[in-house]
Amino acid sequence: MRTFILPVVAALALAVAQPAAAQELTGTLKKIKDTGTITLGHRDTSIPFSYYDDKQQVVGYAMDICLRIVDAIKNELKLQKVDVKLNPVTSATRIPLMANGTIDLECGSTTNNLERQKQVAFTITHYVTANRYVAKKASKVDKLADLKGKTVVSTSGTTNLKWLTEENQKQNLGMNIVAAKDHAEAFLMVETGRAQAFFMDDILLYSLVANARNPGEWMIGSEAYTVEPYGIMLRREDPAFKKVVDNAVAQLYKSGQINPIYEKWFLKPVPPKGINLNVPMSPQFKKVVANPTDSGDPAAYQ
Amino acid sequence: MKYNWNWGIFWQPAADGSGTWLHYLLVGVVWTLATALAAWVIALAVGSVIGVMRTTPNRWAVRFGNGYVELFRNVPLLVQMFLWFFVLPEVVPQALGDWIKQMPPPWSAYFPAVLCLGFYTAARVAEQVRAGIQSLPRGQMMAATAVGFTLAQAYRHVVLPQAYRIILPPLTSEFLNIIKNSSVALTIGLLELTARARSMQEFTFQVFEAFTAATILYLLLNIVIVFGMRWVEKRLAVPGLIAVGGAPQAGH
Amino acid sequence: MLAGFDWDVIQRSLPYLFKEGMTFTLTLTALAMFFGIIFGTLLAMMRLSSFKALSLVAGAYVNLMRSVPLVLVIFWFYFLVPYIGAWILQQNEPVKVGAFLSSVITFTMFEAAYYCEIMRAGIQSIPRGQVWAGYALGLNYWQTMGNVVLPQAFRNMMPVLLTQTIILFQDTSLVYVLSITDFLGAASKVAQRDGRLVEMYLFVAVVYFIISYFLSYLVKRLQARIAVPGKL
């Protein structure tokens, strides 16, 4: 028995005496270091942020930013490589899947607001858009009041749907609100005449119209109802991970590397149909690039 | 594990302003029942006809009945739901199709859901009716004919009353199935109980609470219906007519 | 009506539909059947055991699964399996479970309740004499079940088990509610992207019909084949 004690004690002592200089990794960073993989949540039809191109590959503006973030994480953790797993999410599933650990970063078109910050965290805003509606030109819908008593649609789990439900009550519009599973389904409802208007962030609407069978028959409302700053989502209460992600995005902005990425997706032809959306950087977003912020308060983006 | 428990969510006002979240879910129960009952009426009516057809001496009726059952049993319910909701308005004449599509929600989802569930379950009811009729001693039909009944009268007065009593237990299962299958209608926008639980989860992020409530409500529905049907069975029981316990059948 | 049909869209998307969609559907069906039958048989043995606690727990589980819609069960498992995994493994962070694994778990657990009832009837249909004979020969409970009762029960219930599997095959289409790309999901994506709802959904219906009908036909043939003449 005694011959065993010394080696055992020595082994234990070695195990305990880790180099004190190494930082204690917690949370998501620890998970990535231990498993060597990171799971990115992506969308299927949020053009041009996160979607499937015509070869069923996941591409997009938010995806490119996320991949830069993954590079930064790789450097921070000093790993040779990090395996990137992709997990499709919808507007309705993205927050629960982030909360339950299925995805580590959500790279899409998710609005950052104070209410959501109770469930998840956001990094620096990567786009600023506004809530509008799209309708067929033939239905002659010019303002919200024109939709009184009509059927309108938005996507489940979005801020737009929430706003629409509340506004419908506040202004007593008596609209029939339908919640679609995703943007493509919602757009299809207006296309087939089941709904008169689809409320969504304007950039997503521009993309849907540009890729539609007959772009000329659509019109997008001129009124902007709410300001929607997009942010890449991550888990709450994980400050170490958030710091790495924030730094990565801030670095992109400060170094100007964000500009070619933005151009690639908004000012050049993009898959699946090679259409150029031609949306220059808005003044609100330029402000964010100059002064990176992850605020969930719309007032910060005026 | 960072989940914010909040069982008080049920007493907070729902997003669409119709009342509390609990009220929102209970309205979902009403829609579930409304869909299930309407579909059940169709299922019983059509299913009985098809089931009887499969037991008649007429070869073409049997073939038609078999074809119907095969068709509706081999296509998944969700796919059938899509056919009724998306495809039907596109393949009927333009005017009718447009009228269907213009129907405001919730009727735009309710009618396709009821029709779909009705015809789907009718195939299963037809199976039960056929099994019930065929489990009767052949002597019953022969005796009825001997006494002078026509085929229709024999079915109406002798065969069917006995057959229905025999198949009351499996019919109860089918009704419970319709209640469960009504949840599939959430894919076409019907706001029944499961859809509302999902919607509540999306707005409030209280995943556990919303789904637990839905589960409990379904269990309660089950219990009420099972006890209700047992009471119906007792009321309708004919002394001496023993129902044979059948082999277990596959299905939900 | 048929003039406007675009049969091309079906042809163009065939590789995607079958390589991605149908593969998922078939893999999910096979895995859920395999694990579901194993778990279902275990549940059946629990229900028939003389330990009240075991039979109550198993009974409660089976009744619960059979009382709630599959759609609701799908939602439950998709959102909550990671939390449960973390609780079981005593971790702080929820365990990462992808869509596929979550679906396999969901369908296994759900179908096990139905397989359980089938196996329970199967086990109960074996004459008790078989069990006594096993004990008389000196076999213990597990050996009797494994070598005498279960093989016979399986053989008897094989057609019903397979029919339940065909139903499982059709039920996998419900992963649609999670936007998972099974056969129906893949067809929906193509349908929405190209605006060809009618063609794609009709195609999906026809494919499911052909496969299900063919499989039930095989089950009927199997039923005729394994029927032992003279045995009830």
Residue numbers in C near A36 (CB within 8 A): none
| Residue at B4 is within a domain | no
pLDDT at residue number C177: 87
pLDDT at residue number C95: 67
Residue of chain B whose alpha carbon sits nearest to that of C110: B252
Name every residue whose Cβ is closer than 8 Å to that of residue B42 and which is 6 or more positions away in sequence.
B114, B115, B117, B118, B119, B121, B122
pLDDT at residue number C60: 92
Q: Could you give the ipTM of this predicted complex? A: 0.87
Task: Say whether residue C91 is in contact with chain A using an 8 A CB cutoff.
Answer: no
Q: Which of B150-164, B212-226, C19-33, C85-99 has the lowest mean pLDDT?
A: C85-99
- Separation between Cα atoms, residue B6 and residue B25, nearest integer Å: 16
Share of chain C above pLDDT 70, in %: 93
Give the rounded distance of the alpha carbon of A169 from its chain centre. Answer: 28
Contact C179 A44 (CB under 8 A): yes
Cβ–Cβ pairs < 8 A, chains B and C: 124
Share of chain C above pLDDT 90, in %: 46
pLDDT at residue number C111: 95
- Separation between Cα atoms, residue A152 and residue C221, nearest integer Å: 52
CA angle (B192, B198, B200) in 5-degree steps: 100
Task: Say whether residue C189 is in contact with chain A using an 8 A CB cutoff.
Answer: yes
pLDDT at residue number A16: 47
Q: Which two tokens stand for residue C226?
A: 């394994």
Contact B15 A166 (CB under 8 A): yes
Q: Exposed, middle or buried: residue C89 (CB in 10 Å: 0-12, 13-18, 19+)?
A: exposed
SS3 C225: helix
Task: Say whether residue C151 is in contact with chain A using an 8 A CB cutoff.
Answer: no
Banded pLDDT at C92 (limits 50, 70, 90): low
SS3 A154: strand
| Residue at B247 is within a domain | no
Q: How close C19 gets to chain A, by Cα (Å)? A: 12
Task: Say whether residue C176 is in contact with chain B using an 8 A CB cutoff.
Answer: yes
| More confidently predicted of A117 and A100 | A117
Contact B180 C69 (CB under 8 A): yes
Element (H, E) at A38: strand A37-42
| More confidently predicted of C214 and B246 | C214
Residue numbers in A near B209 (CB within 8 A): none
| More confidently predicted of A3 and C127 | C127
Place of tokens 């067929």: A136
In this complex, the residue of C1, C94, C197 whose CB is nearest that of residue B1 is: C94
In this complex, the residue of A31, A44, A87 whose CB is nearest that of residue C189 is: A44
| Residue at B248 is within a domain | no
Element (H, E) at C161: helix C150-171
Residue numbers in B near A186 (CB within 8 A): none
Task: Say whether residue B67 is in contact with chain C using an 8 A CB cutoff.
Answer: no
Task: Say whether residue C190 is in contact with chain B using an 8 A CB cutoff.
Answer: no
Banded pLDDT at A23 (limits 50, 70, 90): low
Residue A26: count other Cβ atoms within 10 Å of its Cβ.
14
Q: Which two tokens stand for residue A147?
A: 């939709």
Contact C184 B218 (CB under 8 A): no
Tell me: pLDDT of C228 over 70.
no
Residue numbers in B near A191 (CB within 8 A): none
Residue of A102, A158, A194 for testing the chain B interface, max B β-carbons within 10 Å: A194
Residue B217, domain CATH: 1.10.3720.10
Give the rounded distance of the alpha carbon of A258 from its chain centre. Answer: 16
Say how many Å lie between the first and final Cα of chain C, rounded: 53
CATH of A24-129+228-301 among 3.40.50.300, 3.40.50.1220, 3.40.190.10, 3.65.10.10: 3.40.190.10
Beta strands in A140-202 (DSSP E): 151-155, 176-180, 197-201
Beta strands in A89-168 (DSSP E): 105-107, 121-136, 151-155
pLDDT at residue number A180: 87
Is the CB of residue C153 less than 8 Å from the CB of residue C123? yes
Domain with CATH 3.40.190.10 in chain A: 24-129+228-301, 130-227
Residue numbers in A near B100 (CB within 8 A): none
Work out whether the CA dihedral B62, B67, B70, B73 comes out positive or negative: negative
- Separation between Cα atoms, residue B71 and residue C131, nearest integer Å: 43
pLDDT tens digits along A117-167? 888 999 999 999 999 999 999 888 888 888 888 899 999 888 899 899 888
Question: Could you give the maximum distance between any two Cα atoms of chain B, in Å?
Answer: 76
pLDDT at residue number C179: 80
| Residue at B148 is within a domain | yes
Task: Say whether residue C201 is in contact with chain A using an 8 A CB cutoff.
Answer: no
Is the CB of residue A158 less than 8 Å from the CB of residue A91? yes
In this complex, the residue of B79, B251, B252 whose CB is nearest that of residue C173 is: B79
Q: How close A257 gets to chain C, by Cα (Å)? A: 32
Residue numbers in B near A170 (CB within 8 A): none
Residue (of A42, A62, A44) closest to A53 by Cα position: A44
pLDDT < 70 stretches in chain B: 1-3, 241-252
Residue numbers in C near A182 (CB within 8 A): 179
pLDDT tens digits along C57-81? 999 999 999 999 999 999 888 888 7
SS3 A86: strand
Contact B205 A119 (CB under 8 A): yes
Residue numbers in B near A192 (CB within 8 A): 89, 101
Mean of the pLDDT values across residues C17-45?
93
- Separation between Cα atoms, residue C176 and residue C150, nearest integer Å: 36
Name every residue whose Cβ is closer than 8 Å to that of residue B246 and which is 6 or more positions away in sequence.
B131, B170
| Residue at B89 is within a domain | yes
In this complex, the residue of C1, C92, C208 whose CB is nearest that of residue B74 is: C208
Contact B16 A95 (CB under 8 A): no
Mean of the pLDDT values across residues C38-54?
92
Residues 58-87 in A contacting C (C-alpha not used; CB under 8 Å): 85, 87
Domain ranges of chain C: 2-226
Contact B198 A178 (CB under 8 A): no
What does the mean pLDDT of chain C come to?
A: 87
- Separation between Cα atoms, residue C87 and residue C29, nearest integer Å: 28
pLDDT tens digits along A218-234? 999 888 888 889 999 99
Q: What one-letter code names the amino acid at A116?
A: R
pLDDT at residue number C91: 67
Order the strands of the A45-46 sheet from edge to edge.
A45-46, A50-52, A58-59
Task: Say whether residue C84 is in contact with chain A using an 8 A CB cutoff.
Answer: no
Contact C179 A100 (CB under 8 A): no
pLDDT at residue number A18: 44
Task: Say whether residue A181 is in contact with chain C using an 8 A CB cutoff.
Answer: yes
* Number of domains, chain B: 1
Tell me: pLDDT of A20 over 60.
no
Q: Which domain holds residue B224?
A: 14-236
- The DSSP line for C106-144 is HHHHHHHHHHHHHHHHHHHHS-HHHHHHHHHTT--HHHH
Residue of chain C whose alpha carbon sits nearest to that of B189: C177
Would the pTM of this model clear 0.80, i.e. be above it? yes
Pairing of strands A176-180, A151-155: parallel
Residue (of A171, C144, A220, A193) closest to B100 by Cα position: A193
Contact C70 B180 (CB under 8 A): yes
Task: Say whether residue C158 is in contact with chain B using an 8 A CB cutoff.
Answer: no
| Residue at B251 is within a domain | no
Topology classification of domain A130-227? D-Maltodextrin-Binding Protein; domain 2 (3.40.190)
- Separation between Cα atoms, residue A265 and residue A203, nearest integer Å: 12
Residue B225: count other Cβ atoms within 10 Å of its Cβ.
16
Helix H, strand E, coil C: the string for chain B is CCCCCCHHHHHCECCCCCCEHHHHHHHHHHHHHHHHHHHHHHHHHHHHHHHHHCCCCCHHHHHHHHHHHHHHHCCCHHHHHHHHHHHHHHHCCHHHHHHHHHCCCCHHHHHHHHHHHHHHHHHHHHHHHHHHHHCCCHHHHHHHHHHCCCHHHHHHHHHHHHHHHHCHHHHHHHHHHHHHHHHHHHHHCCCCHHHHHHHHHHHHCCHHHHHHHHHHHHHHHHHHHHHHHHHHHHHHCCCCCCCCCCCCCCCC
pLDDT at residue number C93: 63
Q: How close C134 gets to chain B, by Cα (Å)? A: 26
In this complex, the residue of B15, B98, B202 whose CB is nearest that of residue A193 is: B98
Contact B202 A157 (CB under 8 A): yes
pLDDT at residue number B37: 95
Q: Which two tokens stand for residue C216?
A: 């039930």
Residue B96: count other Cβ atoms within 10 Å of its Cβ.
11
Residue of C68, C116, C207 for testing the chain B interface, max B β-carbons within 10 Å: C68
- Residue range C2-226, CATH number: 1.10.3720.10
Q: Exposed, middle or buried: residue A259 (CB in 10 Å: 0-12, 13-18, 19+)?
A: middle
Residue of chain C whose alpha carbon sits nearest to that of A99: C94
What does the mean pLDDT of chain A come to?
A: 85
Contact A31 C93 (CB under 8 A): yes
Residue numbers in C near B186 (CB within 8 A): 71, 177
Task: Say whether residue B215 is in contact with chain C using an 8 A CB cutoff.
Answer: yes
Those chains having 3 or more beta-carbon pairs within 8 angstroms of chain C are: A, B
Q: How close B36 gets to chain A, by Cα (Å)? A: 22
Banded pLDDT at A70 (limits 50, 70, 90): very high
